[in-house]
Amino acid sequence: MLFGRNKKNPIKLVDKGVVEWRYTTCGYCSTGCSIEVGLDQTGTAVASRGVADADVNRGKLCIKGILEHELFRKTAGRGDKPLLRDYRHETFREVSWDAALDKTTAEIKRIQETYGRDAFSIVSTGQIMTEEFYTLGKLARGVMGTNNYDGNTTLCMASAASGYKRSFGSDGPPGCYEDFDHTDCLIAFGSNLPEQHPVIYWRLKEALEKRKFPVIVVDPRVTMFAQMADMHLAITPGTDVVLLNAMAHVILKEGLHKQDYIDAHCADFEAFKTEIERWDPYTASQQCGVDEDTIRNVARLYAKAPKAMSIWTMGINQSTHGSDGVVAINNLNLITGNIGKPGSSSLSITGQCNAMGTREWSSCSGLPGYRVLEKEKDREEISKFWNVDPEFFPKKRGMFMTDILPAIETGQIKGLWLVATNPMTSMPNTSRIRKTLEKLEFLVVQDAYSDVETNQYSHVFLPAAVWAEKEGCFTNTERRVNLIRNVMPPNGESKPDLWIFNALAKRLADGKGPSFPETAEAVFEEMKVLSKGEDRILDISGMSYAKIEAQRGMQWPCREGDETGAQRLYTDGKFQHPDGKAKLIPLAFVDNNERPDDEYPFWLNSGRVVEHFHTRTRTGKVGNANKFSPTPYMEMNPDAAAEVGVSHGGYARLTSKRGEAVVMVQLTQRVSRNMVFIPFHFHDCVNRLTLGLLDPHSRQPAYKQCSVRIEPAADQVAAAAANAAARAY
Ligand code: SF4
């Protein structure tokens, strides 16, 4: 029955009194959505909306982006004044910027003079601007000279970067979102796109509505993405390399590979073929849990598709075989000729808004612009450009973040500077991290929020501006450099990270060494000079702030004189290894991780929910995001729950060999009988339990694979008491 249309109330949007919309880029995930923030007559940020003519998001935003203007509100926990305490357990006192920076400078100098330059270490982030990363790198490598400098991107994207370097000779995702519009087959490994990257998912859905092609999701859990896929392969955690080797086995055995492409563009095919011979689908199915017929069908589907592509996120990266998993995906795409063509790609879906920027320009893994410490030519170039003695640079990269924290335990590292990262919540094995931070002689925390858990252990807190309270660039998943225009002035006395780095550089350099431009745009112009060159893949010399804003982002490489950037890498089949070829790398598989046993019979898996971002430093304070997802919970299979006596909406205590945590139970068929899932965003929760064994190449922790036992917990009071006791443990 039709109701009278005229009588229906039209949908009305609340008028928020916006008088001006300001262009910028979303500061959460790496999708890179162009966003406008609406200001009312008083200059208060009251609304956010997607930019319609931006190619990435075409007017769309996810829930986090829609609420992003709320970050400018003066919420509890926003840092607005520098804080200092002389002893760790004293209460903070507010101090001037000079006092906080002088204290930090004095402690850095004291520790480096007493114990050596590498005894003071820096761990940064994927959250600040690329220009800020470049400046911090110059300060760390060119002034302080510590080799123990890394980013928290080791926790999320290190395996992708490592796998790209091993296969192609350089970091840098080869594909782009537009590949969805051309591909004939897509496999997603360990990526729950609708919840993690909703706008990229929408781009995929849009492509599928125009032109149907098979979508295959490989994930141990029946995620939202798995539910919409044509095929879901519920793989045993951590065994993606086994599945991918078996797919390669089928492709080679049945002659479905592209021999011409392999001959022209790949090295080491014979060694690869010998290893792959061992991985017949039956043997592989015993380890990876995917039956042999399905392995054969998927391998044929992928290899026979005229254009096929693979995407992945943390399900691959956060594993003891993370880097190998990425190499295995690259192997698959190389033998099927699926690199560098529209619709044919290996495309890692990045986590943080500027995890790419730190990989490109921060000097964490070496020197800026994908240069490395191990090459004399790279050291010479940068030392000349920065006015630094080339011998000041180490000849090999130092520790990763996941090695820096254990080096504090052993006394090798005495001082630490954390920039927009929160290891008390993000690192595996919380109890161990707490004890580690307590061992430091000096800890400085630089963050937009003074209530980040890690700040409880600091001596100095430096309040930083958040996101669009400053200016600069982020690089997104598809190598697109986007501009963040300043929308609001920084909160209280907080300062842009660039200002903080420059202020410390002045104090630490004593007028010697490199120069430090003051504005983000001047830093960008300096980076452009360094990026230029025919042999440089990461060339941004054809970009400018004005062009980036006008085009709503530009992809690199974009060489001097180019009107716009290149959508894809390796279109000519020339790779970055010295011989110009990609490497086909044979991958053995050693099952070295913790697995369920009689005492700890459940797999523990972790991941994200759409409302929150990382450790909830920001989204934990944003009204509706926090209301929709206020508390940690555990997904558990109803049959398993009945066996251990746990009920829906009740509480359960999880115990691993590291510690215990109590969470609310949500019964669902999304997880199998021997697996549970907990979102990773909450403090004192899943990372109390995780083991986090490290990948040997990328040093990324295997967050998603450990084992636990589960028992009922009485109520919320018991839950709080147990968690408090666990904190003291
Ligand atoms: Fe921001 Fe990512 Fe959401 Fe886009 S998808 S609005 S970039 S959080």
The model carries a pTM of 0.93
pLDDT digit string, tens, across residues 475-511: 999 999 999 999 999 999 999 999 999 999 999 998 8
Q: Do residue 257 and residue 326 come from a single domain?
A: yes
Is the CB of 33 inside a 6 Å radius of any atom of ligand 1?
Answer: yes
Asked if the structure places residue 555 within a domain, the reply is no
Domain-terminating residue out of 348, 374, 401: 348
Provide the residue range defining the domain that includes 361.
Answer: 83-155+354-508
Asked if residues 591 and 287 have their Cβ atoms less than 8 Å apart, the reply is: yes
360-397 pLDDT tens trace: 999 998 999 999 999 999 999 999 999 999 999 999 99
Specify the number of domains making up the chain.
4
What are the residues facing 602 on neighbouring strands? 708
Ligand 1 contact, 61 CB (< 6 A): yes
Q: Which atom of ligand 1 is nearest to the CA of 198?
A: 5
Q: Are residues 496 and 360 located together in one domain of the fold?
A: yes
- Give me ligand 1 centre to Cα 164, in Å: 25
The pLDDT, as a whole number, for residue 7 is: 63
CB of 65 closer than 6 angstroms to any ligand 1 atom: yes
pLDDT at 1: 44
Question: 628 versus 560: which is more confidently predicted?
Answer: 560
What percent of the chain is predicted at pLDDT more than 90? 76
- Quick: pLDDT tens for 656-702: 998 888 999 999 999 999 999 988 777 777 788 888 889 999 998 88
Whether 92 and 190 share a structural domain: no
Higher per-residue confidence, 293 vs 421: 293
**Residue from 25, 29, 204, 477 to probe ligand 1 pocket by mutation (most atoms less than 8 Å from CB):** 29
What angle do helix axes 322-335 and 240-253 make, rounded to 10 degrees?
20
Give yes or no for a cis peptide into 557 (omega within 30° of 0). Answer: yes
Ligand 1 contact, 676 CB (< 6 A):
no
- The arithmetic mean of pLDDT across residues 122-128, rounded, is 93
Confidence of residue 720 (pLDDT cuts 50, 70, 90): low
Work out the pLDDT band at 618, boundaries 50, 70, 90: confident
CATH of residue 272's domain is 3.40.228.10
In a domain, 574, yes or no: no
Q: What is the pLDDT of residue 722?
A: 58
Overall average pLDDT of the 208-217 stretch = 97
Region 515-538: what's the mean pLDDT?
95
CATH (domain of 33): 3.30.200.210
- The residue that leads in pLDDT, 100 or 662, is 100
* 554 within domain boundaries: no
How far is the C-alpha of 154 from the C-alpha of 133, rounded, in Å?
A: 15
Q: What is the pLDDT of residues 46-66, one digit of tens each?
A: 999 999 999 999 999 998 898
Task: Give domain status of residue 572, yes or no.
Answer: no
pLDDT band at 629 (very low <50, low <70, confident <90, very high): confident
Boundary-marking domain end, from 327, 348, 369? 348
- Note whether residue 556 is domain-resident: no
Q: Going by C-beta distance under 8 Å and a sequence separation of 6 or more, which residues neighbour residue 724?
A: none
Percent of the chain having pLDDT more than 70?
95
* 188 and 337 fall within a common domain: yes
The reply to whether ligand 1 has any atom less than 6 angstroms from the CB of 51 is no
Last residue of a domain, one of 295, 328, 348: 348
- How confident is the prediction for the chain on average, in pLDDT? 92
pLDDT band at 729 (very low <50, low <70, confident <90, very high): very low
Q: Which residues pair with 49 in a beta bridge?
A: 36
Q: Which one of 69, 191, 197 would you pick to mutate in the ligand 1 pocket, going by the greatest count of ligand atoms within 8 A of its CB?
A: 197
Number of residues that make up the chain: 729
What local confidence, expressed as pLDDT, does residue 2 receive?
Answer: 47
Expressed in angstroms and rounded, the spacing between residue 483 Cα and the centre of ligand 1 is: 15
Is 29 a pocket residue for ligand 1 (Cβ < 6 Å)?
yes
Residue 5 has pLDDT above 80, yes or no: no
- Cβ of 54 less than 6 Å from ligand 1: no
Compute how many other C-beta atoms are within 10 angstroms of the C-beta atom of residue 644.
Answer: 14
CA of 186 to the centre of ligand 1 (A): 22
CA-62 nearest atom, ligand 1 = 3
Q: Whose CA is nearest to atom 2 of ligand 1?
A: 29
Residues 127 and 248 in one domain: no
- CATH number of residue 379's parent domain: 3.40.50.740
Is residue 329 within 8 Å of residue 189, measured between CB atoms? yes
Domain co-membership, 304 together with 450: no
Question: Does the beta carbon of 26 sit less than 6 angstroms from any atom of ligand 1?
Answer: yes
CA-nearest residue, atom 3 of ligand 1: 62
Predicted confidence band of residue 544 (pLDDT cuts 50, 70, 90)? very high
Query: Tell me, what DSSP letter sits at residue 140?
Result: I
Confirm whether 104 is domain-assigned.
Answer: yes
> Is 10 a member of any domain?
no
Average pLDDT, stretch 108-112?
98
Ligand 1 atom closest to Cα of 200? 5
702 lines ligand 1 (CB under 6 A): no
Query: Do 496 and 379 share a structural domain?
Result: yes
| 115 and 248 co-located in one domain | no
**How close is the Cα of 345 to the center of ligand 1, in Å?**
22
- Residues 425-463 have pLDDT tens digits of 888 887 888 899 999 999 999 999 998 889 999 999 999
What pLDDT score does 6 carry? 58
pLDDT, tens only, 149-208: 998 888 888 999 999 999 999 999 999 999 999 999 999 999 999 988 999 999 999 999
User: How much is the CA Rg of the chain, to the nearest whole Å?
Assistant: 25
Co-location of 259 and 304 in the same domain: yes
Phi/psi class of residue 379: alpha, beta or left (left: φ > 0; alpha: ψ in -120 to 50)?
A: alpha
Residue 465 Cβ < 6 Å to ligand 1: no
Coil, strand, or helix at residue 187? strand
Task: Please tell me whether residues 342 and 368 are part of one structural domain.
Answer: no
Span from the CA of 466 to the centroid of ligand 1 (angstroms): 16
Ligand 1 atom closest to Cα of residue 353: 7
Q: Which of 618, 603, 597, 624 is nearest to 681 (CA)?
A: 618
Question: 680 CA to middle of ligand 1, Å?
Answer: 18
CA of residue 61 to ligand 1 center, whole Å: 6
Q: Is residue 628 included in any domain, yes or no?
A: yes
Q: Is the pLDDT of residue 3 over 60?
A: no
Q: Which residue's C-alpha comes closest to atom 4 of ligand 1?
A: 33
Ligand 1: atom nearest CA of 61 is: 6
Is residue 298 within 6 Å of ligand 1 at its C-beta? no
Check if 111 has its Cβ closer than 6 Å to any atom of ligand 1: no
pLDDT digit string, tens, across residues 579-591: 999 999 999 999 8
Q: How far is the CA of 21 from the centre of ligand 1 (A)?
A: 18
Q: How far is the CA of 169 from the centre of ligand 1 (A)?
A: 30
The pLDDT assigned to 429 comes to: 80
Ligand 1 probe mutation, 25, 28, 624, most atoms within 8 A of CB: 28
What does the DSSP assignment read for 384-429?
HHHT--GGGS-SS----HHHHHHHHHTTS--EEEEES--HHHHSS-
* Nearest atom (ligand 1) to Cα of 199: 5
CATH of the domain at 642: 2.40.40.20
Do 191 and 295 belong together in one domain? yes
Same domain, yes or no: 384 and 343: no
**Is a pLDDT exceeding 70 seen at residue 723?**
no
CA 622 to chain centre: 21
